[in-house]
Amino acid sequence: MTTVPVALEIAVTSPAGAVVARDHGADRVELCVGLELGGLTPSQALVETVHETGIPAHALVRCRPGGFVHDPDEVDLMEREVRTVIRSGAAGVVVGALRPDRTLDLDALRRFVAAARSVSATAEVTLHRAIDHAADPVAAAAAVADLGFTRVLTSGGALTAAAGASTISRMVESSGPVQVMAGAGVTPADVPALVAAGVAAVHLSAKRPAAGSAHTGVPMGGSDDGSAHFVTDADVVRAARRALDTAAA
């Protein structure tokens, strides 16, 4: 039986980050803005520009920070954002929604999948880490195949994917044809254990503070503490690629 290689996905926030990921071994990128907020929907121009780099980009569609219970207006907005980012060149979207009882919001998720596939029949759809906030992530992973999802991104409900590896393994067993991708606090050293858990992909931000980007003085908003913004670290991407290749050998 042929072994399917485990994919490497890097979360990026810029065309420069996409190029670093592309040139140092990533198979695809997850594109967002506001990574320090957990990630938000990128602009149309950002999606278009990253598409031009040539690496497949899956755009996060999340209209605000905070929890994953969305009101009807937010679901309407994100449905439109799904169509926009796919039309702008995204190879897929990364979406999620929960109900107040911490079960999957199946109606919203069906709408997101349908919106993506209405633009491109081959669009991939990933359920993001809202699944880690579900009451039962293993059961949630089992439920998404019928919704048309390609994969789920998960830490196994733990603070980090490494800490949640045993639950991730159970999610792999329950998910059927849906791929399971491990993400949250992943370092290259974590890769062998995550591969052993049976994941189809590993996801990491591979970030470092950008030199000279911190500031002092007048804050630019209530959450602005003057810290540097982050950029994609080529050394971390390369190390993750080596770890994956070694684990697969």
Would the pLDDT of 225 be above 70? no
Does residue 25 contact residue 234 with C-beta atoms inside 8 Å?
no
Q: What is the pLDDT of residue 211?
A: 76
Better pLDDT: 115 or 3: 115
Better pLDDT: 209 or 233: 233
Q: What is the pLDDT of residue 221?
A: 59
Closest CA to 46 of 31, 56, 34, 36: 31
Q: What is the pLDDT of residue 228?
A: 63
pLDDT above 70 covers a percentage of the chain that reads 92
Q: What is the pLDDT of residue 198?
A: 97
pLDDT confidence tier of residue 31, bands split at 50, 70 and 90: very high
Q: What is the pLDDT of residue 3?
A: 65
Q: Which of 15-24, 95-104, 207-216 has the lowest mean pLDDT?
A: 207-216
- Pairing verdict, β 151-154 and 179-183: parallel
Q: Which of 24-38, 108-122, 200-214, 222-236 has the lowest mean pLDDT?
A: 222-236
Q: What is the pLDDT of residue 229?
A: 75
Task: Give the chain's end-to-end CA distance (angstroms, integer).
Answer: 15
Report, as an integer, the average pLDDT of 7-30.
98
pLDDT confidence tier of residue 4, bands split at 50, 70 and 90: confident
The CA distance from 44 to 182, in Å, is: 27
Closest CA to 185 of 209, 152, 164, 159: 159
Q: What is the pLDDT of residue 220?
A: 57
Would the pLDDT of 2 be above 50? no
**Cβ contacts of 161-164, under 8 Å, gap ≥ 24:** 161/185, 161/186, 161/190, 161/194, 161/202, 162/186, 162/190, 162/193, 162/194, 164/132
> Which pLDDT tens digit goes with each residue over 137-175?
999 999 998 999 999 999 999 999 999 999 999 999 999
For the chain, the average pLDDT equals: 93
